[in-house]
Structure 1
Amino acid sequence: MSIVIRDVREHELDSVLALNNNAGLAILPLDSVKLQRFYQQAAYFRVAERDGNLAGFLVAFGSEADHDSSNFAWFRERYPQFFYIDRIVVASRRRGGGVGRAFYADVQSYAELRYPQLACEVFLDHGADPALLFHGSFGFREVGQNTMPNVNVRTSMLMKELCSYPWVRDTYGGQLPDQPWARARTLADATPSATPRANDP
Protein backbone atom coordinates (compact mmCIF):
# COMPACT_ATOMS: atom_id res chain seq x y z
CA MET A 1 0.00 0.00 0.00
CA SER A 2 1.09 3.60 -0.55
CA ILE A 3 2.62 5.85 2.09
CA VAL A 4 0.69 9.05 2.84
CA ILE A 5 2.50 11.97 4.47
CA ARG A 6 0.25 14.62 6.05
CA ASP A 7 0.18 17.15 8.88
CA VAL A 8 -0.33 15.68 12.33
CA ARG A 9 -3.70 16.15 14.05
CA GLU A 10 -3.90 17.05 17.69
CA HIS A 11 -5.85 13.95 18.69
CA GLU A 12 -2.92 11.84 17.36
CA LEU A 13 -0.35 13.26 19.77
CA ASP A 14 -0.73 10.41 22.28
CA SER A 15 0.10 7.93 19.51
CA VAL A 16 3.05 10.07 18.42
CA LEU A 17 4.30 10.17 22.01
CA ALA A 18 4.11 6.38 22.29
CA LEU A 19 5.96 5.98 18.97
CA ASN A 20 8.72 8.30 20.16
CA ASN A 21 9.19 6.71 23.55
CA ASN A 22 9.26 3.18 22.13
CA ALA A 23 11.89 4.06 19.52
CA GLY A 24 14.96 3.05 21.52
CA LEU A 25 18.24 4.76 22.34
CA ALA A 26 18.60 6.60 19.02
CA ILE A 27 15.80 9.03 19.98
CA LEU A 28 15.56 11.10 23.17
CA PRO A 29 12.36 10.55 25.17
CA LEU A 30 9.54 13.10 25.08
CA ASP A 31 6.84 14.11 27.53
CA SER A 32 3.39 15.39 26.64
CA VAL A 33 4.27 19.02 27.51
CA LYS A 34 7.21 19.14 25.11
CA LEU A 35 5.23 17.34 22.42
CA GLN A 36 2.43 19.89 22.73
CA ARG A 37 5.04 22.63 22.32
CA PHE A 38 6.24 20.92 19.13
CA TYR A 39 2.64 20.82 17.93
CA GLN A 40 2.19 24.55 18.58
CA GLN A 41 5.55 25.77 17.25
CA ALA A 42 7.04 23.40 14.66
CA ALA A 43 7.02 24.61 11.07
CA TYR A 44 6.81 20.99 9.92
CA PHE A 45 5.11 18.26 11.96
CA ARG A 46 3.87 15.46 9.76
CA VAL A 47 2.95 11.83 10.19
CA ALA A 48 3.16 8.92 7.80
CA GLU A 49 0.23 6.57 7.27
CA ARG A 50 0.62 3.15 5.74
CA ASP A 51 -2.30 0.75 5.35
CA GLY A 52 -4.37 3.23 7.38
CA ASN A 53 -2.05 3.05 10.42
CA LEU A 54 0.37 5.57 11.86
CA ALA A 55 3.82 4.55 10.66
CA GLY A 56 6.00 7.42 11.88
CA PHE A 57 6.45 11.16 12.28
CA LEU A 58 8.95 13.93 11.55
CA VAL A 59 9.29 17.29 13.35
CA ALA A 60 11.34 20.21 11.96
CA PHE A 61 11.96 23.90 12.70
CA GLY A 62 13.22 26.89 10.76
CA SER A 63 16.42 28.55 11.98
CA GLU A 64 14.44 31.54 13.31
CA ALA A 65 12.39 29.34 15.67
CA ASP A 66 12.36 29.63 19.46
CA HIS A 67 13.57 26.06 19.92
CA ASP A 68 15.48 24.83 22.98
CA SER A 69 17.48 21.95 21.45
CA SER A 70 21.24 22.13 22.09
CA ASN A 71 21.88 20.68 18.64
CA PHE A 72 19.66 23.35 17.08
CA ALA A 73 21.66 25.97 19.00
CA TRP A 74 24.91 24.46 17.66
CA PHE A 75 23.72 24.94 14.08
CA ARG A 76 22.40 28.44 14.78
CA GLU A 77 25.78 29.56 16.14
CA ARG A 78 27.39 28.58 12.82
CA TYR A 79 24.79 29.01 10.05
CA PRO A 80 22.48 31.98 9.44
CA GLN A 81 19.63 30.15 7.71
CA PHE A 82 18.67 26.46 7.68
CA PHE A 83 15.80 24.05 8.25
CA TYR A 84 16.40 21.71 11.17
CA ILE A 85 15.04 18.16 11.48
CA ASP A 86 14.62 17.73 15.23
CA ARG A 87 13.54 14.11 15.08
CA ILE A 88 12.21 11.41 12.81
CA VAL A 89 10.68 8.22 14.18
CA VAL A 90 9.50 5.24 12.15
CA ALA A 91 7.51 2.46 13.83
CA SER A 92 9.69 -0.64 14.26
CA ARG A 93 7.40 -2.80 12.12
CA ARG A 94 7.71 -0.26 9.26
CA ARG A 95 11.48 0.23 9.24
CA GLY A 96 13.12 -0.61 5.95
CA GLY A 97 9.84 -0.16 4.08
CA GLY A 98 10.45 3.28 2.60
CA VAL A 99 8.78 5.44 5.26
CA GLY A 100 12.01 7.24 6.17
CA ARG A 101 12.80 7.94 2.52
CA ALA A 102 9.28 9.25 1.94
CA PHE A 103 9.68 11.63 4.91
CA TYR A 104 13.04 12.93 3.71
CA ALA A 105 11.73 13.53 0.21
CA ASP A 106 8.75 15.39 1.67
CA VAL A 107 10.67 17.51 4.18
CA GLN A 108 13.21 18.46 1.51
CA SER A 109 10.38 19.56 -0.80
CA TYR A 110 9.09 21.78 2.01
CA ALA A 111 12.49 23.12 3.07
CA GLU A 112 14.00 23.93 -0.33
CA LEU A 113 11.25 26.50 -0.98
CA ARG A 114 12.31 28.41 2.14
CA TYR A 115 15.88 27.63 3.25
CA PRO A 116 19.30 27.11 1.66
CA GLN A 117 20.30 24.17 3.86
CA LEU A 118 18.76 21.20 5.64
CA ALA A 119 20.29 20.22 8.99
CA CYS A 120 20.00 17.25 11.34
CA GLU A 121 22.12 15.08 13.62
CA VAL A 122 22.78 11.39 14.19
CA PHE A 123 23.61 9.95 17.62
CA LEU A 124 27.03 8.29 17.42
CA ASP A 125 27.02 6.11 20.51
CA HIS A 126 24.43 3.47 19.60
CA GLY A 127 25.33 1.81 16.29
CA ALA A 128 25.24 4.84 14.00
CA ASP A 129 26.40 3.28 10.72
CA PRO A 130 22.93 2.56 9.24
CA ALA A 131 21.75 6.12 10.04
CA LEU A 132 24.94 7.71 8.69
CA LEU A 133 24.67 5.66 5.49
CA PHE A 134 21.00 6.61 5.12
CA HIS A 135 21.77 10.31 5.46
CA GLY A 136 24.84 10.10 3.24
CA SER A 137 22.69 8.58 0.50
CA PHE A 138 20.55 11.75 0.66
CA GLY A 139 23.55 14.03 0.23
CA PHE A 140 24.15 15.02 3.86
CA ARG A 141 27.73 15.59 5.01
CA GLU A 142 29.20 15.94 8.47
CA VAL A 143 30.03 19.54 9.40
CA GLY A 144 31.10 18.85 12.99
CA GLN A 145 30.27 16.96 16.17
CA ASN A 146 28.52 18.00 19.35
CA THR A 147 28.13 16.49 22.81
CA MET A 148 24.69 17.24 24.16
CA PRO A 149 24.73 18.59 27.74
CA ASN A 150 22.76 16.82 30.48
CA VAL A 151 22.38 13.60 28.45
CA ASN A 152 26.07 13.30 27.42
CA VAL A 153 25.22 12.05 23.93
CA ARG A 154 27.70 12.62 21.09
CA THR A 155 26.19 13.58 17.76
CA SER A 156 27.36 13.87 14.17
CA MET A 157 26.10 17.22 12.86
CA LEU A 158 24.91 16.87 9.27
CA MET A 159 24.08 19.46 6.63
CA LYS A 160 22.75 19.31 3.09
CA GLU A 161 22.77 22.14 0.55
CA LEU A 162 19.36 22.65 -1.07
CA CYS A 163 20.21 23.51 -4.65
CA SER A 164 16.68 24.64 -5.61
CA TYR A 165 16.52 27.35 -2.95
CA PRO A 166 18.43 30.11 -4.83
CA TRP A 167 16.14 29.75 -7.86
CA VAL A 168 13.00 29.80 -5.71
CA ARG A 169 14.28 32.83 -3.77
CA ASP A 170 15.24 34.74 -6.91
CA THR A 171 12.03 33.85 -8.75
CA TYR A 172 9.44 34.25 -5.98
CA GLY A 173 11.20 36.36 -3.34
CA GLY A 174 9.32 34.92 -0.39
CA GLN A 175 5.89 35.14 -2.05
CA LEU A 176 5.25 31.51 -2.94
CA PRO A 177 2.29 30.62 -5.15
CA ASP A 178 -0.86 29.74 -3.22
CA GLN A 179 -0.73 26.02 -3.87
CA PRO A 180 -1.64 23.39 -1.24
CA TRP A 181 1.75 21.66 -1.42
CA ALA A 182 3.64 24.99 -1.01
CA ARG A 183 1.71 26.39 1.95
CA ALA A 184 3.21 26.70 5.41
CA ARG A 185 1.75 24.64 8.24
CA THR A 186 -1.01 26.19 10.32
CA LEU A 187 -2.86 24.68 13.26
CA ALA A 188 -6.07 24.96 11.22
CA ASP A 189 -4.50 22.48 8.77
CA ALA A 190 -3.81 20.09 11.61
CA THR A 191 -7.36 19.79 13.00
CA PRO A 192 -9.35 16.57 12.47
CA SER A 193 -11.70 18.35 10.07
CA ALA A 194 -8.91 19.34 7.69
CA THR A 195 -8.55 17.45 4.42
CA PRO A 196 -5.52 15.11 4.61
CA ARG A 197 -2.62 16.02 2.35
CA ALA A 198 -0.91 13.22 0.51
CA ASN A 199 2.52 13.27 -1.10
CA ASP A 200 1.91 16.27 -3.35
CA PRO A 201 4.63 16.96 -5.89
Structure 2
Amino acid sequence: MTIAIRDVREHELDSVLALNNAAGPAILPLDAPRLRRLYDHAEYFRVAERDGALAGFLIGFGAHAAHDSVNFAWFRARHPDFFYIDRVVVASRRRGGGVGRALYADVQSYAELRYPQLACEVFLEQGADHALLFHGSFGFREVGQNVMAEHGLRAAMLMKSLCSYEWVRQTYGDALPDVPWLQRPRPQAASAAAREACA
Protein backbone atom coordinates (compact mmCIF):
# COMPACT_ATOMS: atom_id res chain seq x y z
CA MET A 1 0.00 0.00 0.00
CA THR A 2 1.43 3.32 -1.10
CA ILE A 3 2.04 6.26 1.22
CA ALA A 4 1.60 9.60 -0.55
CA ILE A 5 3.15 12.73 0.95
CA ARG A 6 1.65 16.02 -0.21
CA ASP A 7 0.91 19.57 0.92
CA VAL A 8 -1.97 19.92 3.34
CA ARG A 9 -5.21 21.35 1.97
CA GLU A 10 -7.07 24.02 3.87
CA HIS A 11 -10.27 21.97 4.10
CA GLU A 12 -8.28 19.22 5.91
CA LEU A 13 -7.43 21.33 8.95
CA ASP A 14 -10.31 19.90 11.02
CA SER A 15 -9.04 16.39 10.30
CA VAL A 16 -5.47 17.43 11.16
CA LEU A 17 -6.72 18.93 14.44
CA ALA A 18 -8.55 15.72 15.35
CA LEU A 19 -5.50 13.62 14.47
CA ASN A 20 -3.24 15.86 16.59
CA ASN A 21 -5.51 15.79 19.63
CA ALA A 22 -5.95 12.02 19.47
CA ALA A 23 -2.18 11.41 19.39
CA GLY A 24 -1.72 11.06 23.15
CA PRO A 25 0.61 12.72 25.67
CA ALA A 26 3.70 12.77 23.43
CA ILE A 27 2.10 15.57 21.36
CA LEU A 28 0.86 18.87 22.79
CA PRO A 29 -2.84 19.46 22.09
CA LEU A 30 -3.97 22.19 19.69
CA ASP A 31 -7.06 24.31 19.30
CA ALA A 32 -8.40 25.52 15.95
CA PRO A 33 -6.97 29.09 16.15
CA ARG A 34 -3.49 27.76 17.00
CA LEU A 35 -3.60 25.27 14.14
CA ARG A 36 -4.72 28.05 11.81
CA ARG A 37 -1.70 30.14 12.86
CA LEU A 38 0.57 27.19 12.15
CA TYR A 39 -1.06 26.74 8.75
CA ASP A 40 -0.69 30.44 7.93
CA HIS A 41 2.99 30.66 8.91
CA ALA A 42 4.59 27.21 8.53
CA GLU A 43 7.22 26.86 5.85
CA TYR A 44 6.41 23.16 5.57
CA PHE A 45 3.02 21.59 6.32
CA ARG A 46 2.51 18.24 4.61
CA VAL A 47 0.30 15.24 5.18
CA ALA A 48 0.73 11.53 4.62
CA GLU A 49 -2.14 9.77 2.89
CA ARG A 50 -2.59 6.02 2.85
CA ASP A 51 -5.50 4.13 1.29
CA GLY A 52 -7.18 7.48 0.62
CA ALA A 53 -7.20 8.49 4.29
CA LEU A 54 -5.12 10.98 6.26
CA ALA A 55 -2.47 8.92 8.06
CA GLY A 56 -0.22 11.63 9.52
CA PHE A 57 1.24 15.12 9.14
CA LEU A 58 4.40 17.11 9.79
CA ILE A 59 4.78 20.87 10.36
CA GLY A 60 8.13 22.70 10.17
CA PHE A 61 9.73 26.15 10.32
CA GLY A 62 13.03 27.64 9.23
CA ALA A 63 15.24 29.19 11.92
CA HIS A 64 14.27 32.76 11.11
CA ALA A 65 10.49 32.25 11.21
CA ALA A 66 8.25 34.25 13.51
CA HIS A 67 7.32 31.15 15.49
CA ASP A 68 6.42 31.34 19.20
CA SER A 69 7.31 27.81 20.35
CA VAL A 70 9.56 27.81 23.42
CA ASN A 71 11.47 24.81 22.07
CA PHE A 72 12.00 26.59 18.76
CA ALA A 73 13.31 29.60 20.74
CA TRP A 74 15.69 27.27 22.62
CA PHE A 75 17.23 26.11 19.35
CA ARG A 76 17.37 29.63 17.91
CA ALA A 77 19.24 30.93 20.97
CA ARG A 78 21.96 28.33 20.41
CA HIS A 79 22.14 27.63 16.66
CA PRO A 80 22.24 30.16 13.81
CA ASP A 81 20.58 28.14 11.05
CA PHE A 82 18.36 25.04 11.14
CA PHE A 83 15.00 23.66 10.09
CA TYR A 84 12.70 22.88 13.01
CA ILE A 85 10.15 20.07 13.09
CA ASP A 86 7.41 21.58 15.22
CA ARG A 87 5.30 18.46 15.33
CA VAL A 88 4.85 15.14 13.60
CA VAL A 89 1.79 12.99 14.17
CA VAL A 90 0.93 9.55 12.84
CA ALA A 91 -2.57 8.08 13.27
CA SER A 92 -2.51 5.35 15.90
CA ARG A 93 -3.76 2.70 13.46
CA ARG A 94 -0.86 3.54 11.10
CA ARG A 95 2.01 3.52 13.59
CA GLY A 96 4.74 1.09 12.68
CA GLY A 97 3.67 1.06 9.04
CA GLY A 98 6.28 3.44 7.65
CA VAL A 99 4.23 6.67 7.71
CA GLY A 100 6.60 8.41 10.15
CA ARG A 101 9.63 7.34 8.14
CA ALA A 102 8.04 8.61 4.92
CA LEU A 103 7.31 12.00 6.51
CA TYR A 104 10.86 12.27 7.87
CA ALA A 105 12.37 11.31 4.51
CA ASP A 106 10.27 13.99 2.83
CA VAL A 107 11.05 16.75 5.31
CA GLN A 108 14.76 15.91 5.13
CA SER A 109 14.72 16.12 1.34
CA TYR A 110 13.13 19.57 1.69
CA ALA A 111 15.40 20.83 4.49
CA GLU A 112 18.77 19.58 3.24
CA LEU A 113 18.59 21.89 0.22
CA ARG A 114 17.99 24.93 2.42
CA TYR A 115 19.38 24.39 5.93
CA PRO A 116 22.51 22.82 7.48
CA GLN A 117 20.70 21.10 10.36
CA LEU A 118 17.37 19.54 11.23
CA ALA A 119 16.04 20.06 14.78
CA CYS A 120 13.24 18.58 16.86
CA GLU A 121 12.45 17.54 20.42
CA VAL A 122 11.15 14.45 22.19
CA PHE A 123 9.28 14.74 25.50
CA LEU A 124 11.00 12.58 28.10
CA GLU A 125 8.21 12.11 30.65
CA GLN A 126 6.02 9.94 28.45
CA GLY A 127 8.02 6.72 28.03
CA ALA A 128 10.09 8.14 25.19
CA ASP A 129 12.37 5.18 24.40
CA HIS A 130 10.63 4.35 21.11
CA ALA A 131 10.70 8.01 19.97
CA LEU A 132 14.37 8.41 20.91
CA LEU A 133 15.23 5.18 19.09
CA PHE A 134 13.26 6.29 16.01
CA HIS A 135 15.10 9.63 15.89
CA GLY A 136 18.45 8.02 16.63
CA SER A 137 17.96 5.70 13.66
CA PHE A 138 17.61 8.83 11.51
CA GLY A 139 20.90 10.25 12.80
CA PHE A 140 19.53 12.72 15.39
CA ARG A 141 21.63 13.30 18.49
CA GLU A 142 20.74 15.04 21.75
CA VAL A 143 22.26 18.52 22.04
CA GLY A 144 20.66 19.49 25.34
CA GLN A 145 17.43 19.42 27.31
CA ASN A 146 14.74 22.03 27.85
CA VAL A 147 12.00 22.22 30.46
CA MET A 148 8.82 23.79 29.13
CA ALA A 149 7.70 25.76 32.18
CA GLU A 150 4.17 26.26 30.86
CA HIS A 151 3.55 22.52 30.60
CA GLY A 152 6.10 21.18 33.10
CA LEU A 153 7.56 18.91 30.41
CA ARG A 154 11.22 18.08 29.89
CA ALA A 155 12.30 17.61 26.29
CA ALA A 156 15.41 16.09 24.77
CA MET A 157 16.55 18.59 22.13
CA LEU A 158 17.75 16.72 19.05
CA MET A 159 19.67 17.82 15.97
CA LYS A 160 20.92 16.19 12.81
CA SER A 161 23.50 17.59 10.38
CA LEU A 162 22.33 17.59 6.77
CA CYS A 163 25.34 16.56 4.74
CA SER A 164 23.95 17.62 1.34
CA TYR A 165 23.46 21.23 2.40
CA GLU A 166 27.08 22.34 1.98
CA TRP A 167 27.33 20.95 -1.55
CA VAL A 168 24.00 22.54 -2.53
CA ARG A 169 25.10 25.88 -1.05
CA GLN A 170 28.48 25.84 -2.81
CA THR A 171 26.94 24.78 -6.11
CA TYR A 172 23.79 26.92 -6.21
CA GLY A 173 24.23 29.63 -3.57
CA ASP A 174 20.87 31.23 -2.72
CA ALA A 175 19.24 30.37 -6.05
CA LEU A 176 18.03 26.80 -6.38
CA PRO A 177 17.20 25.66 -9.91
CA ASP A 178 13.78 26.71 -11.18
CA VAL A 179 12.14 23.30 -11.27
CA PRO A 180 8.67 22.53 -9.86
CA TRP A 181 9.72 20.03 -7.18
CA LEU A 182 12.03 22.61 -5.61
CA GLN A 183 9.67 25.57 -5.79
CA ARG A 184 7.02 24.22 -3.46
CA PRO A 185 4.73 27.07 -2.32
CA ARG A 186 3.81 27.52 1.33
CA PRO A 187 0.43 25.89 2.13
CA GLN A 188 -1.65 29.08 2.33
CA ALA A 189 -0.09 30.39 -0.91
CA ALA A 190 -1.10 27.17 -2.66
CA SER A 191 -4.66 27.37 -1.37
CA ALA A 192 -4.92 31.05 -2.40
CA ALA A 193 -3.74 30.16 -5.90
CA ALA A 194 -6.32 27.37 -6.07
CA ARG A 195 -9.09 29.77 -5.02
CA GLU A 196 -8.04 32.28 -7.69
CA ALA A 197 -8.01 29.55 -10.34
CA CYS A 198 -11.56 28.57 -9.44
CA ALA A 199 -12.87 32.17 -9.41
What range describes the TM-score normalised by the shorter chain of this pair? over 0.9
CA distance in 2, matches of 1:149, 1:158: 19
Q: Which amino acid aligns with 1:25?
A: P
**CA offset digits 1:11-30 (Å, max 9, x no partner):** 00000000000000000000
**CA offset digits 1:40-61 (Å, max 9, x no partner):** 1000000000000000100000
CA distance in 1, matches of 2:24, 2:45: 20
- For the pair 1:189 / 2:174, whether they are aligned, the reply is no
> Hey, what does 2:107 align to over in structure 1?
107
> Hey, what does 2:176 align to over in structure 1?
176
Cα displacement (A) at 1:180: 2.1
Cα displacement (A) at 1:179: 1.8
> Hey, what does 2:142 align to over in structure 1?
142
The 5-angstrom pairing of residues 60-139 of structure 1 reads 60-139=60-139
Q: 3-state SS of the aligned residue for 1:67?
A: coil
Cα displacement (A) at 1:70: 0.5
Cα displacement (A) at 1:149: 1.6
**CA offset digits 1:122-167 (Å, max 9, x no partner):** 0000110000000000000000000002101000000000000011
Identify, as 1 or 2, the structure richer in helix.
2
CA distance in 2, matches of 1:81, 1:122: 20
Q: Name which of structure 1's ranges 47-56 and 171-180 shifts more when overlaid on structure 2.
A: 171-180
> Hey, what does 2:20 align to over in structure 1?
20
> Hey, what does 1:163 align to over in structure 2?
163
**CA offset digits 1:65-111 (Å, max 9, x no partner):** 00000000000000000000000000000000000000000000000
Q: 3-state SS of the aligned residue for 1:175?
A: coil
Paired residues of 1:8 and 1:190 also in contact (CA < 8 A): no
Percent identity between matched residues is 73
CA distance in 2, matches of 1:88, 1:82: 17
Cα displacement (A) at 1:185: 2.7
CA distance in 1, matches of 2:193, 2:82: 30
CA distance in 2, matches of 1:80, 1:190: 31
Q: 3-state SS of the aligned residue for 1:36?
A: helix
* Alignment RMSD: 1.3
CA distance in 2, matches of 1:131, 1:191: 36
Give the TM-score taking structure 1 as reference length.
Answer: 0.94
> Hey, what does 2:8 align to over in structure 1?
8
Q: 3-state SS of the aligned residue for 1:188?
A: helix
CA distance 1:35–1:85, shift in 2 (3 Å) = same
CA distance in 1, matches of 2:50, 2:21: 20
Paired positions, count: 194
Paired residues of 1:7 and 1:190 also in contact (CA < 8 A): no
Give the TM-score taking structure 2 as reference length.
Answer: 0.95
Q: Which amino acid aligns with 2:85?
A: I
CA distance in 2, matches of 1:127, 1:114: 33
Structure 1 runs of 4+ off > 2 angstroms?
184-194
CA distance 1:191–1:50, shift in 2 (3 Å) = farther
5+ residue gaps, structure 2, are none
CA distance in 1, matches of 2:30, 2:137: 28
